Structure 1
């Protein structure tokens, strides 16, 4: 599995596909009377391949299950919007506070996937990854059946091809 992840990273880098940021979200907190704004702590860069994220360093292959994503943005004054919209604005502002330029795509809440085969059996059933017949398979959404799901290598190869060479529409 490590080789498939390494190969995906090399192909994406060679194709010039721009990576996205990977960060750890640190919520707003108070220490005594001092309020600390929510922020994003940079963890590196990744490529988003559907439900998975692939690290950019081929010498140390890394695979993550995608969590949430945002684009860094200035926090406007609160409006009369839904609570969830205000939370999304706060998260976008946290990425800006973490040092990301405005408009940068930032992935956070990603779960690292161990690439050693003995750990595959301990994968949670609510992840988009699962083991069938000793092979790691990727389902299109968490909870879907693993019957007919692609192997990790096939999934990565297909998604890398789509990202490196997007289909064009001939008019």
Structure 2
């Protein structure tokens, strides 16, 4: 029996996910200056997808996850680390962009090319290993068959 391609496996996952809750995808929008006065940047909603580990599966596309935020009101916070301040700023930008307080927002995601994977090229984190679609599920480079990964992620829902 021949292994199913990445597109087939993703399509089967979509079928299994039908009716399940989705997360919203956001994109950073830098506001234009009007009369020399700039507005704070916003993260605006641009779509929805099912979150399965390192993948975000939309109705038509598949994305690699980026940063996950919780939208919240802009407030003065006493963080000592610059990275915490920047993350707080992005969470406030999501709230300004229309996400509800506490809502999960995915930003920095990138669209994957399933046709490249079908042609035995990689569209990180998806790749072909010995003719079988795999997913790179951690930063250390660990891979596993996409079918097994999707089954495990769907079982956790």
Give the TM-score category using the shorter length: 0.7 to 0.9
Q: How many pairs align?
A: 150
Unpaired runs of 5+ residues, structure 2, are 1-5
Q: Distance in 1 between matches of 2:114 and 2:48?
A: 18
CA deviations 1:95-120 (Å, max 9, x no partner) are 111111111100011111111123x5
Q: 1:20 aligns with which of 12, 20, 23?
A: 23
Q: How does 1:26-37 map to 2 (within 5 A)?
A: 26-27=29-30, 30=33, 33-37=36-40
Partner secondary structure for residue 121 of structure 1: coil
Deviation at 1:27, TM superposition (A): 4.7
Q: How does 1:147-158 map to 2 (within 5 A)?
A: 149-158=143-152
Q: 1:139 to 1:80 in 2, by over 3 A?
A: closer
Q: What is residue 50 of structure 1 aligned with on the other side?
A: 53
Q: What is residue 89 of structure 1 aligned with on the other side?
A: 88
Q: After TM superposition, which residue ranges in structure 1, 4 or more long, deviate above 3 angstroms?
A: 27-32
**Conserved in 2, the CA contact under 8 Å of 1:128 and 1:141?**
no
**Conserved in 1, the CA contact under 8 Å of 2:52 and 2:154?**
yes
CA deviations 1:78-104 (Å, max 9, x no partner) are 435321111111100111111111111
Partner secondary structure for residue 76 of structure 1: coil
Using the size of structure 2 for normalisation, the TM-score is 0.83
Q: What is residue 77 of structure 1 aligned with on the other side?
A: 76
Q: What is residue 10 of structure 1 aligned with on the other side?
A: 15
Choose 38-47 or 62-71, whichever is displaced more.
38-47
